[in-house]
């Protein structure tokens, strides 16, 4: 029997546990190392990185909502070259799986970034085709099977590293998008990115977010995410990384039962920065009580 | 930098003005490392986002922090219901850059409204070498005046409507004070128009100045990048983040055109 009951293999990569801070909520990890060693995490999905430095959108970029929040950061990041030069060497010393989250405004930008990462120490690529906060590219590719397939194909060709496509929930049929990614050679899919939303300040009659609209995350989206993970996991033969409102170990178990092999945690970090380590502790107890390896529960929900 | 997260007991509560509350919190591990100008991030049951609040006073001997905040919405309203004996969930001390503390220097310290609390710890540092200028909307909003006086600083009070202290704005008093003496540094916290006015005066007189900013925050530590603030450094536009790059900035970076 394996001593570490949380260990899992995903796209051929060994994860000591399935808990990963979600892209865009954890920077490149440095800030959270002040709370706990990054080596306690299964992996880290780094801030979405583009070909060139991006300043992002004007503030305010965040608005609270019932059981959640909207954000409109707009992919602020230092650019791929700076990531490779300044952030990756640091992350490499942390003994955790490094997932490079990448985003582009054009097909060739995705190709360029994936190509640059191919010869680096990142373990896998998570391809963001679902950012709701940028004008060009981003979600535009993720809302059609054709767009999602095109980006998958181009990234697949540019790298030998495992490719995980990050899907948008702002679509009619997310399972068909996942299938399009699988058909073009994706090794995995991750979902869900944020749901497009809006809040208005009733006193000044203007949107709270300067970008007018933004992405909804937090516990409010959790049931939507579980449903989509379940639909996608049943539609494809590649593994699924689930996220969207996970804030406790019970949520993580629920999403794994729906079909997720890995779990990303985002907005919950803002409520409690210790959330990932609390979830890992809770999962260990759960496996002990249920006398099971965690990977064996994936997708085992029995539908009515 | 080290962050602490935990539940800390509230040992004192005050209500110095309508909708303004103060808490003294016993948190020796935070008080030992907190710096002037930093803030705490407070979790409130039932809310996704924490509420960032500036540190008003640090007492290392007693191991306490004092915070003073205004009710701005449902979250801060719930915070105002906390009482001595209750535990408060804080992540602290946050802020990569606080106020510059220059031994033996002369400082003019300016607070506007709920921007006054973070200036108290600074006034304590400069003591008799400080001039504190506090501005409020009206007499009912005035807070912390006895505290500022007890630091030994020279103090001025003004209100927009003249119901307490002089009638006028902090920038009026600042302009007048600068006619008689030139400080080494001017530090301010308050509404953006006030900070802009202070920055313009400081630039005109060639005096170094620092401003403490506020922005809607997510993580509070620099991981989520939501609390962006447009700054210009060495001619380059940079979207800095209030939580990690601030909350205190050189006013020239925030108001490059003033």
Name the pTM for this structure: 0.94
Residues of chain B in contact with residue A63, where contact means CB-CB under 8 angstroms, are: 216
Domain borders along chain B are 4-94, 107-212
- A56 and B1: CB-CB below 8 Å? no
CATH level 3 topology of A8-55+75-197+216-297: TIM Barrel (3.20.20)
Domain borders along chain A are 8-55+75-197+216-297
Least confident of A29-38, A138-147, A148-157, B67-76: A138-147
Q: What pLDDT sits at residue A253?
A: 98
Q: Left (φ > 0), alpha (ψ -120 to 50) or beta: where does A29 sit?
A: left
Q: Nearest residue of B to residue A26 by CA position?
A: B223
**Which stretches of A52-96 are assigned E, i.e. beta strand?**
62-65, 68-71
Residue range B107-212, CATH number:
3.40.50.80
B4-94 domain in CATH 3.10.300.10?
no
**Residue A167 scores a pLDDT above 60:** yes
- pLDDT tens digits along A43-53: 999 999 999 99
Q: Which of B3, B217, B218 sits opposite A35 (nearest CB)?
A: B3
- A62 and B219: CB-CB below 8 Å? no
Q: What residue has token string 């449902």?
A: B74
ipTM of the complex: 0.92
**CA geometry: angle at A108 spanning A104 and A111, to 5°?**
80
**Which stretches of chain B are assigned E, i.e. beta strand?**
4-17, 20-26, 39-43, 51-59, 64-70, 87-94, 107-112, 130-136, 154-159, 166-167, 185-189, 208-212, 228-233, 236-241, 248-250
What are the residue ranges of helices labelled H in chain A? 80-82, 88-92, 107-118, 139-142, 145-158, 174-183, 222-235, 249-258, 268-271, 275-290
- pLDDT tens digits along A185-225: 999 999 999 999 999 999 999 999 999 999 999 999 999 99
Which residues, listed in sequence order, are joined to residue B9 by a DSSP beta bridge? B87
> Which residue of A273, A275, A276, A278 is the best one to mutate when testing the B interface, meaning the one whose CB has the most B CBs within 10 A?
A273
Which residues, listed in sequence order, are joined to residue A265 by a DSSP beta bridge? A21
Positions in chain B whose pLDDT score sits under 50: none
**Residue A2 scores a pLDDT above 70:** no
């Amino acid at each position: 029997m394996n001593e570490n009951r949380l260990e899992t293999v995903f796209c051929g990569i060994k994860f000591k546990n399935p808990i990963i801070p979600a892209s865009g909520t954890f920077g490149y990890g440095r800030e959270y190392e002040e709370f706990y060693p990054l080596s306690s995490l299964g992996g880290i999905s780094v801030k979405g990185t583009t070909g060139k430095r991006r300043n992002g959108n004007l503030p305010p970029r965040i608005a609270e909502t019932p059981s959640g929040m909207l954000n409109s950061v707009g992919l602020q990041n230092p650019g791929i070259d700076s990531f490779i030069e300044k952030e990756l060497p640091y992350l490499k010393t942390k003994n955790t799986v490094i997932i490079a989250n990448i985003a582009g405004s054009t097909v060739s930008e995705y190709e360029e970034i994936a190509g640059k990462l191919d010869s680096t120490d990142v373990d896998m690529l998570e391809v963001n085709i679902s950012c709701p906060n940028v004008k060009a590219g981003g979600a535009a590719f993720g809302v059609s099977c054709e767009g999602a397939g095109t980006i998958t194909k181009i990234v697949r060709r540019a790298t030998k590293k495992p490719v995980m496509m990050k899907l948008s929930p702002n679509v009619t049929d997310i399972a068909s998008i996942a299938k399009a990614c699988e058909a073009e050679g994706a090794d995995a899919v991750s979902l869900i990115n944020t749901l497009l939303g809006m809040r208005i300040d009733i006193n000044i009659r203007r949107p709270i977010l300067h970008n007018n609209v933004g992405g909804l995350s937090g516990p409010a989206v959790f049931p939507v995410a579980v449903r989509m993970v379940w639909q996608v996991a049943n539609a494809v033969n590649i593994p699924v990384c689930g996220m969207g409102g996970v804030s406790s170990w019970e949520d993580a178990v629920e999403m794994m039962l729906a079909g997720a092999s890995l779990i990303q945690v985002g907005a919950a970090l803002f409520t409690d920065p210790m959330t990932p380590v609390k979830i890992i502790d809770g999962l260990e107890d759960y496996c002990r009580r249920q006398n099971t390896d965690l990977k064996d529960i994936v997708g085992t929900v029995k539908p009515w | 930098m080290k962050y602490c997260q935990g539940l800390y007991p509230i040992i004192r509560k005050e209500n110095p003005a309508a909708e303004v509350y103060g808490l003294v919190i016993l948190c020796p591990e935070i008080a030992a490392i907190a710096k002037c100008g930093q803030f705490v991030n407070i979790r409130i049951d039932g809310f996704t986002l924490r509420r960032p609040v500036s540190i008003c006073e640090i007492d290392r001997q007693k191991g306490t922090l004092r915070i003073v905040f205004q009710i701005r919405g449902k979250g801060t309203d719930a915070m105002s219901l906390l009482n001595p004996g209750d535990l408060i969930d804080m992540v602290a001390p946050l802020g990569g850059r606080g106020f510059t503390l220059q031994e033996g220097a002369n400082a003019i310290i300016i607070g506007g409204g709920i921007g006054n609390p973070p200036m108290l710890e600074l006034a304590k540092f400069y003591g008799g070498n400080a001039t504190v200028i506090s501005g409020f909307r009206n007499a009912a909003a005035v807070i912390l005046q006895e505290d500022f006086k007890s630091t030994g600083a020279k103090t001025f009070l003004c209100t927009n409507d003249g119901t307490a202290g002089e009638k006028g704005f902090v920038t009026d008093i600042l302009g007048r004070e600068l006619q008689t003496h030139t400080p080494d540094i001017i530090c301010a916290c308050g509404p953006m128009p006030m900070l802009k006015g202070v920055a313009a005066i400081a630039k005109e007189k060639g005096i170094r100045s620092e401003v403490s900013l506020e922005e809607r925050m997510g993580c509070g530590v620099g991981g989520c990048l939501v609390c962006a603030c447009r700054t210009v450094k060495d001619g380059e536009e940079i979207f800095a983040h209030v939580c990690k790059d601030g909350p205190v900035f050189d006013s020239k970076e925030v108001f490059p055109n003033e």
